[in-house]
Amino acid sequence: MKEEKNSSRFFENRDCQYFPCHAGMEGEPLNCLFCYCPLYALGRACGGDYAYNERGIKDCSACTFPHRPENYDRLLARYGDIMKVVRRADEEGV
Ligand code: SF4
């Protein structure tokens, strides 16, 4: 197991009742910094491993993208796209 130290880029809360919250990451460093994924607002363009359930709700339970420490910079690079979604929502009064 690769050791990661808590920092501004990485935070692992092993005391969380849900840890490790995603299958397939057992024994690997799991970044809890993006516990609620900021890319969720990008819908189908988030780039993660999502599925939509029968009620049309996006289900991210199979996705480990935001939790993998090596993806920190890739995730931050999408903030411009998130801001476009926010601007559009503001313009539409959502
Ligand atoms: S599928 Fe993955 S990347 Fe996309 S919003 Fe869900 S957790 Fe984030």
Residue 12 and residue 28 in contact, taking contact as beta carbons nearer than 8 Å: no
What atom in ligand 1 is closest to the CA of residue 64? 2
Only one residue has tokens 């994924």, namely 37
Beta carbon of 75 within 6 Å of any ligand 1 atom? no
Task: Check whether 2 has a pLDDT greater than 70.
Answer: no
Q: Assess if residue 31 is contained within a domain.
A: yes
Task: Give a yes or no: residue 21 inside a domain.
Answer: yes
* Residue 6 belongs to some domain of the structure: no
Which residues partner with 52 through β-bridges?
58
pLDDT at 29 over 60: yes
Answer whether residue 1 is part of any domain.
no
CA 43–ligand 1 middle distance (angstroms):
8
pLDDT tens sequence across 32-82: 999 999 999 999 999 999 999 999 999 999 999 999 999 999 999 999 999
Domain that holds residue 32: 12-94
Give the Cβ contact number of residue 37 at 10 Å: 18
47 CA → ligand 1 middle, Å? 7
Q: What are the helix (H) ranges across the chain?
A: 72-76, 79-92
Half-sphere exposure of 43 (CA within 13 A, CB side): 5
> Does a structural domain hold residue 3?
no
How many domains, the chain? Answer: 1
